[in-house]
Amino acid sequence: MTKDDSRRIVITGIGMTAPNGNSLSEYRTNLLECRPRIGTMDLRYMGLTPAGICDFDALRYQKKRELRVGTRAGSVSIYCARESLADSGMDWEAMDSNRIGVYVGTTEHGNVETENEVHNISQFDYDTRFWSHHHNPRTVANNPAGEVTLNLGIHGPHYTIGAACAAGNAGMIQGAQMLLLGEVDVALAGGVSESIRSFGIFAGFRSQGALATNEDPNKASRPFDQERNGIVVSEGGALYTLERLSDAKKRGAHIHAEIAGWCINSDASDYVLPNAERQAECMNRAMKMAKMTPKDIGILSTHATATKQGDIQECKAIRSVFGADSKTCINNTKSYIGHCMGAAGALELAGNLPSFLDGVVHPTINVDSLDPECDLPNLILNKPVEGVAVDAILNSSFGMLGINSTLIVRRFTK
């Protein structure tokens, strides 16, 4: 029985910026050539610290005044949204702008601006007359998505979705749901992060004993490695153009993939320590929605952040779902770009999507000595694997306060 095309949600555009690429082609090349790009930031109160820094042309779509008034998260969102729409080939200006929705997942928003403003007025004896009148619109929770609507003249709904490091998947899930509800005809959806602009995030991870250190910044992010010592905080973004298949067919759109299933659930067990049982439940429920089993999944994109317990808990979850003899290729992208927080899931999915066409799976890098507790079947390490038939990708993202998200996409077939 053929599924109604109006109930099938497809990806028709991808726009992104990551520390190692400002387009999908550049990003993918660096993943397959095992080229990370982690730099250092001279952070207030902390000194030089490894960080993933994006280098996109913000002035391509914004004026200098808009950059001064707005936020880094907003700028990343605008760049990704514009690139995604360009990739979609959509004549969006001819569309009813009330029928376009913007759904941007993020880990946090407003910390950067607040920290900077407090520091600025500290130079003037904390005289609030020197507090920026741009502060409120910069820090409201809907800012990144709202800046996209201002830049593009979009009149449909916009949400910024706070879902910790599960936010990239959550943004895409929200977009798909709104399309299925008939609330919009096009959804710009995914995740962004400006987290490297906030010293508080770095300081928090350091005090937790979870901030990566390494003499070579490009070796600092090392998920699954025995010597891993924490997270590399990074910025970035990936927004997707989502449509109902019936609409995409009408305009002859190129289709990157189809969204097959998803799940978001909660651990309800700890502020920061992941719960393997709930993570496994999230993956299983997403596969049930997609009408798939573990054998149907060609690539499992892991969340692993290179924290000791976080990686171990996720590996426990994967073993319980996929078993000891799984043929599913398992990889990780944070070893190249660090942890892009709210953008992580969206960027990690983007890096794997080309596998539908080229049959190549990029590896996890920086694994010199695999932690035995992270030894998974078919874990792809340090060099790509070719000739893989990939029909479905399972993308996992998990976040603080126990929020878990799984998104499954399938190769598009008519």
Residue in 80, 165, 282, 374 annotated catalytic: 165
Examine domains 9-250 and 261-409 and report if their fold is the same.
yes
Active-site residue, 119 included:
no
d(Cα 241, Cα 8) in Å, to the nearest integer? 14
Which runs of consecutive H residues, i.e. helices, occur in 272-340?
276-290, 308-322, 334-337
pLDDT in tens, 337-346: 999 999 999 9
E strands, 23-111, are 39-43, 47-52, 100-106
Active-site residue, 303 included:
yes
d(Cα 356, Cα 283) in Å, to the nearest integer? 21
pLDDT in tens, 262-273: 999 999 999 999
**Beta pairing partners, 370:** 225
For residue 72, what are the CA distances in angstroms to 22, 56, 288, 299?
15, 11, 38, 32
Nearest CA among 319, 9, 46 for reference residue 196: 46
Architecture per CATH, domain 261-409, reads as 3-Layer(aba) Sandwich (3.40)
DSSP 355: H
pTM over 0.95: yes
Grouping H, G, I as helix, E, B as strand and the rest as coil, residue 36 is: coil
pLDDT in tens, 8-39: 999 999 999 999 999 999 999 999 999 999 99
Contact indicator for 193, 237 with CB cutoff of 8 Å: yes
The residues, ordered by sequence, that sit 6+ positions from 59 with a Cβ below 8 Å of its Cβ are 67
Which residue bears the tokens 């078993």?
323
For residue 369, what are the CA distances in angstroms to 105, 209, 373?
34, 21, 12
Active-site residue, 339 included:
yes
**291, two tokens:** 């009408």
Grouping H, G, I as helix, E, B as strand and the rest as coil, residue 160 is: strand
Nearest CA among 95, 16, 53 for reference residue 338: 53
Instruction: Read off the pLDDT band of 7 (50, 70, 90).
Output: very high
- Reported as type and span, the H/E element at residue 349 is helix 344-352
pLDDT in tens, 204-258: 999 999 999 999 999 999 999 999 999 999 999 999 999 999 999 999 999 999 9
Does 2 score more than 60 pLDDT?
A: no
pLDDT in tens, 261-302: 999 999 999 999 999 999 999 999 999 999 999 999 999 999
Helices and strands in the chain, H and E counts: 14, 13
Does 1 score more than 80 pLDDT?
A: no
Architecture per CATH, domain 9-250, reads as 3-Layer(aba) Sandwich (3.40)
Residue in 339, 340, 362, 374 annotated catalytic: 339
pLDDT in tens, 92-120: 888 999 999 999 999 988 888 999 999 99
**377, two tokens:** 């079947």
**97, two tokens:** 């702008």
Domains of the chain, residue spans: 9-250, 261-409
Residue in 109, 158, 256, 303 annotated catalytic: 303
